[in-house]
């Protein structure tokens, strides 16, 4: 079994491959061409990609098409309706990981974290390096390092600029293990959210989206009872402070296009491909 370090190192190659496949998906490049583009032999690329993503590069190319995304959206509407019918509100599921949310009060929101102590740490994950932070009430931040570790930390500090910050790898490492390695569904993972009432509504709506499912900005707007607030919904999705756990990567355009993602479109597709592989949806792909 590969270590997190190995998976994180492999992610860089996977991301390059995803970008190449996405750019050339209209002509369906052969495996040897994709492998050559990232500097690997066809044999090693096939093994690496399949081991990391859980699906073959060829299946992944089909996943990237608009037609397939639209089909998944249609299936997901039924799953989301079932979720609503069983009465889930601020409870979400990521594979076998359950999440409970607690929002700051209006007074706490204005205080910018005054009186809180936040423990943070930088860690390698199968999707690259990330920064995670938590208060005594739960995880309050999860982001991927894009440009530098310093910039990632600066963003955290800007969101909670009155809180006391402590770098604490020992406290945050078990959280990373639960999120990316060994989920324990019997003990809910708590999230501590800081945002406007509207943002909290959108983020909690995102928690309704099961792993292996997709939704649209229009569906999120309708779910929160404000169908005309598409632009505001998009802004709230883009400002999601807790990546992966609040699954904003599962929101795509109704046209079937995957759209943008705060941490890059390739990472969005990698997160979705991994979820689809684990949920068994990719077994429905034909002719691969």
Give the least confident one: 37-41, 42-46, 183-187, 221-225: 183-187
Q: Is 78-252 a CATH 1.10.10.10 domain?
A: yes
The winner for highest mean pLDDT among 73-87, 132-146, 269-283 is: 132-146
Cα dihedral across residues 5, 9, 14, 19: positive or negative: positive
What does the alpha-carbon distance between residue 206 and residue 193 come to, in Å, rounded to a whole number?
13
The winner for highest mean pLDDT among 61-75, 180-194, 200-214 is: 200-214
Catalytic residue among 248, 252, 266, 281: 248
Q: Name the residue ranges covered by the structural domains of the chain.
A: 4-64+260-284, 78-252
**Residue-wise pLDDT tens digits, 153-195:** 999 999 999 999 999 999 999 999 888 875 555 577 899 999 9
Q: Is the pLDDT of residue 76 over 70?
A: no
What does the alpha-carbon distance between residue 11 and residue 33 come to, in Å, rounded to a whole number?
19
pLDDT for the residue numbered 54: 80
Please report, for residues 19, 33, 51, the alpha-carbon distance to residue 38 in angstroms, rounded to integers and kept in the order given. Answer: 10, 9, 17
Query: Active-site residue 248, yes or no?
Result: yes
Whether 272 contacts 127, CB under 8 Å:
no
């Amino acid at each position: 079994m590969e270590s997190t370090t190995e998976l994180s190192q492999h992610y860089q190659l996977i991301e390059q491959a995803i970008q190449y496949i996405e750019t050339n998906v209209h002509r369906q490049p052969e495996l040897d061409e994709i492998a050559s583009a990232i500097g690997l032999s066809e044999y090693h690329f096939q093994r690496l990609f399949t081991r990391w993503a859980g699906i073959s590069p060829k299946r992944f190319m089909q996943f990237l098409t608009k037609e397939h995304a639209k089909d998944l959206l249609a299936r997901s509407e039924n799953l989301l309706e079932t979720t609503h019918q069983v009465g889930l509100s601020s409870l979400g599921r990521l594979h076998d990981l359950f999440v409970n949310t607690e929002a700051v009060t209006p007074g706490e929101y204005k205080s910018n974290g005054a009186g809180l102590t936040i423990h943070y740490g930088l860690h390698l994950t199968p999707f690259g390096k990330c920064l995670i932070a938590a208060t005594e009430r739960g995880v309050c931040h999860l982001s991927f390092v894009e440009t530098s570790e310093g910039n990632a930390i600066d963003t955290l500090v800007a969101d909670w600029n009155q809180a006391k910050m402590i770098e604490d790898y020992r406290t945050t490492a078990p959280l990373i293990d639960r999120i990316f390695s060994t989920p324990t569904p019997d003990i809910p993972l708590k999230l501590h959210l800081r945002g406007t009432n509207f943002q909290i509504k959108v983020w909690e709506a995102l928690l309704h989206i099961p792993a292996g499912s997709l939704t649209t900005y229009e569906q999120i707007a309708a779910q929160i009872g404000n169908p005309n607030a598409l632009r505001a919904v998009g802004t709230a999705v883009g400002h999601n402070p807790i990546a992966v756990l609040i699954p904003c990567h599962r929101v795509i355009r109704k046209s079937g296009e995957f759209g943008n993602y705060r941490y890059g479109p390739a990472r969005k597709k990698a997160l979705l491909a991994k979820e689809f592989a684990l949920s068994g949806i990719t077994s429905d792909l034909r002719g691969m």
